Amino acid sequence: METSTFSYGQLSAFTKDIFLAIGCSEPDATLAAEVLLSADLRGVDSHGVARLSGYVRLWEAGRINATPDIRVVHETPSTAVVDGDSGLGLVVAPFAMKVAIDKAANAGTGWVSVRNSNHYGIAGYHAMMALEKDMIGMSMTNASPLVAPTFSTERLLGTNPICVAIPGGKEPAFVADMATTTAANGKLEILQRKQQPAPAGWIQDKEGNSTSDAHALKTGGALLPLGGTREQGSHKGYALGSIVDIFSAVLSGANYGPWVPPFPAYVPMPENMPGKGIGHFFGAMRVDAFRPKEEFFKDMEQWINRFRNAKTVPGEEKVLIPGDPERAYEAIRRAEGIPLLQPVVEDLSALAQKFGCKL
Amino acid sequence: METSTFSYGQLSAFTKDIFLAIGCSEPDATLAAEVLLSADLRGVDSHGVARLSGYVRLWEAGRINATPDIRVVHETPSTAVVDGDSGLGLVVAPFAMKVAIDKAANAGTGWVSVRNSNHYGIAGYHAMMALEKDMIGMSMTNASPLVAPTFSTERLLGTNPICVAIPGGKEPAFVADMATTTAANGKLEILQRKQQPAPAGWIQDKEGNSTSDAHALKTGGALLPLGGTREQGSHKGYALGSIVDIFSAVLSGANYGPWVPPFPAYVPMPENMPGKGIGHFFGAMRVDAFRPKEEFFKDMEQWINRFRNAKTVPGEEKVLIPGDPERAYEAIRRAEGIPLLQPVVEDLSALAQKFGCKL
């Protein structure tokens, strides 16, 4: 499919303009643009500027508050609950992660559960905020229900990602950022656009049979938890997605399971919602709350080097450290720009026209 | 294969006698027996009394200290590092989990990384200690290297389990206790005994090809991370196993990756070991450090009921909540006894004879 390439600066300025246009403050619009575009930089195209018009539609539907009063509503020395006041998740999440980091500075670790938020972009951005403080960062969120638990035909969980970012000393950080499903929904969307079949274990049809139909979500199908089938451990993926849901929403008072508000603004809201908005969960652990930094980094460097230089199966060049592929994308895209598919460009052009902004 | 059934009390008294015979104190022997047998009760036969002779062999090899001075060597309000002084993991782990729980009582959460320990039984026992305090418990450990990272032929990780235990209010607790591999090594051992093939995605041969040979570990093969293949998400299982390894050992100063001391006493120790013993990691989070307990439990009960009553695929009776299968095992085995395979009975009889204890 045809693509056009834009520089990071160009997309960043445009995205900020759109957030300003819907009423965000200058600092919020700057931050939201940075968070959203970190996905495009890191090669997670499904979570970047391609979603900008989706956020705008949520704002138009009255589901996003452009001037939220984000605040801590409950706390202990190492924990807090943050209410996002229906703000952009792109702004609520860094606020909450900052609370976690501040708690960790004092108590060794900080853990923050968030209610009343919206889609927060990529999990990785928030977790990685901890790295520059020599802390381990964690980030997770629940999301629109698209995933069936093992043995179920109902969509009760989101793709509920987990990110764990660990500083690597002289080596680049270890950053595992992953959906708790076999494949993220964005991967499926790529197959849909290319009219290609879905691999086994990615998706089931409405009766719960594994299917290669990449469009099966439209006919009552569901994404599958990591593992794909019971025999191959899907009950573990289901458990991981559930833990994300509970930490993000049952601990905070957000909506959980099938009651999580859907990202597409045209999908009706669930009935009898038990909480407020969607939920996130963040953690920060000071490395030196456990060991002197130098000792930790020495071992972390050795860990990374040992794994990176492991013997490979024939045909594979290297064993990758989590975060390597995204870092490679970022280097290329900062230098050469960010390629956008034509439908995304058209979507952004329509936004530019609507708000009188320049793309 | 033939089995004999023993009552919990009988196996418990015997196991305690063996731990006393190798020099453990009365309270340590009692605790170690309780932790070890919790695996048999919960149906995790590979981690229970079947391993008792393995612990004894480690003690005979001088790798287990029956009278350890287990102590906190570093701490902050919400963290600690515990040195297990080469003690039984079955005793070191509950000590460390208790530190995490005490920290959580004061700071909201507690996080403890452990070095210089040994095999700690099932992850679930330790995480579940938090439940009676209305806390969420977490437990993870690294283990003998048997698992190849995605794209590698080398065994660099253990089956590195994670347990998360969440109190359920009026419902039984949510307890997810899982290896970060497609299948735990114990599941493979069952296939080996029955001379059955391994399902796809469980194991690879020494060249890194998926194999149905359940004995492939003996010829240079490796267990596969959850996901099984790259296309089905094995890089996520690899990342999860790595996080367990780093939290358990790089944070504490234990051995990590290929340097983790092997459980079988006859396997030589790795060269140039970077740390001390094996590592664990524990967490405790007070529910009311986030929300009033009553609110949390009301939502948790609704979460559990919604998932348990989800529509099932044809042929399946119920969607399970993590912990359901183990709870069902425990109810049966407490009432009807614990069945042991004949080779395990013979192993225990040999121990009885060696130490003059009564089975």
**Strand order across the beta sheet in which B278-286 lies:** B71-76, B79-83, B109-117, B278-286, B135-141, B162-166, B174-178
**Segments of chain B assigned E as strands:** 3-6, 71-76, 79-83, 109-117, 135-141, 162-166, 174-178, 203-204, 222-223, 278-286, 338-341
In the block, which residue shows the tokens 């790089």? B250
Give residue B115's pLDDT band: very low, low, confident or very high (50, 70, 90): very high
Chain B residues near residue A123 by CB distance under 8 angstroms: none
Best of B163, B308, B319, B326 to mutate (most A CBs within 10 Å, chain A): B319
Chain A residues near residue B254 by CB distance under 8 angstroms: none
Chain B residues near residue A150 by CB distance under 8 angstroms: 319-320
Chain A residues near residue B281 by CB distance under 8 angstroms: none
Contacts of B218 (CB under 8 A, 6+ apart): none
Neighbours of A271 (CB within 10 A): 6
Q: Which residue is closest to A155 within chain B, CA to CA?
A: B310
In the block, which residue shows the tokens 């009921």? B305
> How far is the alpha carbon of B353 from chain A, nearest alpha carbon, in Å?
40
Contact between chains at B299 and A174 (C-beta distance less than 8 A): no
- Alpha-carbon distance of A221 to A219, in angstroms, equals 6
- DSSP annotation of A324: H
Chain A residues near residue B75 by CB distance under 8 angstroms: 108
**Segments of chain A assigned E as strands:** 3-6, 71-76, 79-83, 109-117, 135-141, 162-166, 174-178, 203-204, 222-223, 278-286, 338-341
> How far is the alpha carbon of B100 from chain A, nearest alpha carbon, in Å?
12
Contact between chains at A156 and B295 (C-beta distance less than 8 A): no
Give residue B194's pLDDT band: very low, low, confident or very high (50, 70, 90): confident
Chain B residues near residue A320 by CB distance under 8 angstroms: 150-151, 235
Domain map of chain A by residue range? 3-291+325-355
Give residue B219's pLDDT band: very low, low, confident or very high (50, 70, 90): very high
Q: Which residue is closest to A287 within chain B, CA to CA?
A: B251
Contacts of A97 (CB under 8 A, 6+ apart): A112, A126, A127, A129, A130, A137, A139, A282, A284
- Alpha-carbon distance of B143 to B248, in angstroms, equals 10
> How far is the alpha carbon of A18 from chain B, nearest alpha carbon, in Å?
35
- DSSP annotation of A130: T
8 Å CB contact between B345 and B351: no
Q: Which of B151, B176, B209 sits opposite A243 (nearest CB)?
A: B176
> How far is the alpha carbon of B144 from chain A, nearest alpha carbon, in Å?
16
Q: Is the pLDDT of residue B218 over 90?
A: yes
Residue type present at position A178: M
Q: Which of A107, A199, A319 sits opposite B78 (nearest CB)?
A: A107
* pLDDT cut 70: percent of chain B above it: 100
Chain A residues near residue B183 by CB distance under 8 angstroms: 233
Contact between chains at A79 and B228 (C-beta distance less than 8 A): no
Angle at A253 between CA B239 and CA A93, to 5 degrees: 50
Q: What is the pLDDT of residue A187?
A: 87
Q: Is the pLDDT of residue B1 over 90?
A: no
In the block, which residue shows the tokens 């939220």? A68
- Assembly ipTM: 0.98
Chain A residues near residue B295 by CB distance under 8 angstroms: 253
Q: What is the pLDDT of residue A114?
A: 99
Q: Which residue is closest to B226 within chain A, CA to CA?
A: A227
Q: What is the pLDDT of residue A307?
A: 98
Give residue B185's pLDDT band: very low, low, confident or very high (50, 70, 90): confident
Reported as a single tens digit per residue, the pLDDT across B303-353 is: 999 999 999 999 999 999 999 999 999 999 999 999 999 999 999 999 999
Quick one: which of B156, B130, B158 has its CA closest to B47? B158
> How far is the alpha carbon of B81 from chain A, nearest alpha carbon, in Å?
6
Report mean pLDDT in 10-residue bins for chain A, 359 residues: 94 98 98 98 94 97 98 98 98 98 98 98 98 98 97 98 98 98 88 90 95 95 96 97 98 98 94 98 98 98 98 95 98 97 96 96
Q: Which residue is closest to B155 within chain A, CA to CA?
A: A310
Q: What is the pLDDT of residue B187?
A: 87
Q: Is the pLDDT of residue B186 over 80?
A: yes
Contact between chains at B307 and A246 (C-beta distance less than 8 A): no
> How far is the alpha carbon of A349 from chain B, nearest alpha carbon, in Å?
35
User: What distance separates the 2 farthest-apart alpha carbons in chain B?
Assistant: 55
Count of A-B CB contacts under 8 Å? 265
- Alpha-carbon distance of B94 to B44, in angstroms, equals 19
- Alpha-carbon distance of A54 to A15, in angstroms, equals 13
CATH 3.30.1370.60 fits A3-291+325-355, yes or no: yes
Contact between chains at B303 and A154 (C-beta distance less than 8 A): no
**pTM for this one?**
0.98
- Alpha-carbon distance of B109 to B286, in angstroms, equals 6
Chain A residues near residue B316 by CB distance under 8 angstroms: 151
Q: What is the pLDDT of residue B213?
A: 95
Q: What is the pLDDT of residue B337?
A: 98
Task: Tell me the two tokens of residue A62.
Answer: 């009255």
